[in-house]
Structure 1
Amino acid sequence: MTDQSTYRAELIGPGVIGNNEIVELSYVDGAYQDLVELTFEAAGATSVRTWALGEVGPDTVEPIPYNFLSEVDQTPPNVEN
């Protein structure tokens, strides 16, 4: 590993989800995070997207790959009775 407290990760996903975005993540107990959850808000809706740590070997260099797992809409439905 490294003496730094953060590392660069690449979020890989289908279409515009992730879109090979590079983010800065913190090490957890000196290791890469297994899962990354990010919250997004757009057009009044809130969604949580999850990525999982990709294949990392001894020769892997930053950015560390994370593969898209899922997206969950966290906005409660607006239903009138």
Structure 2
Amino acid sequence: MTDERTYKAELIGPTTVGNAEVIELPYVNGAYQDLVELTFEAGGATSVRTWALGEGTVEPIPYNFVGEVDATPPNVEN
């Protein structure tokens, strides 16, 4: 690794939200992060998307989309 505290990562897939976005991430114990979770707000709903470390050694380091969870609590009236 380098003496840098952060590295550039590219989020890959599945839609336009987060796809091909390059972000800066901190190293964790001197290594790349295995998983990246980001929260997105769209249309009044909150979603958490997860990307996993892909294969690649040249920045930006690729992260492949693995899933999405709707984090907005349901609005149910009793």
| Length-normalised TM-score, structure 1 | 0.89
> Which residue among 67, 72, 77 is the counterpart of 2:69?
72
Name structure 2 gaps, 5 residues minimum: none
Deviates more, 1:62-71 or 1:12-21: 12-21
5 Å-filtered alignment, 1:10-49, equals 10-49=10-49
Aligned-pair identity (%):
79
Q: In 1, Cα distance between the equivalents of 2:69 and 2:17?
A: 12
Offset of residue 37 of structure 1: 0.3
> Given residue 32 of structure 1, which amino acid in structure 2 is its aligned partner?
Y
* Residue segments in structure 1 that go unaligned for 5+ positions in a row: none
CA RMSD of aligned residues (A): 1.1
Secondary structure of residue in 1 paired with 2:47: strand
Query: Structure 1 residue 44: deviation in Å?
Result: 1.9
SS in 1 for 2:74: coil
Following TM superposition, where does structure 1 have runs of at least 4 consecutive aligned residues deviating by more than 6 angstroms? none
Bigger shift: 30-39 or 15-24? 15-24
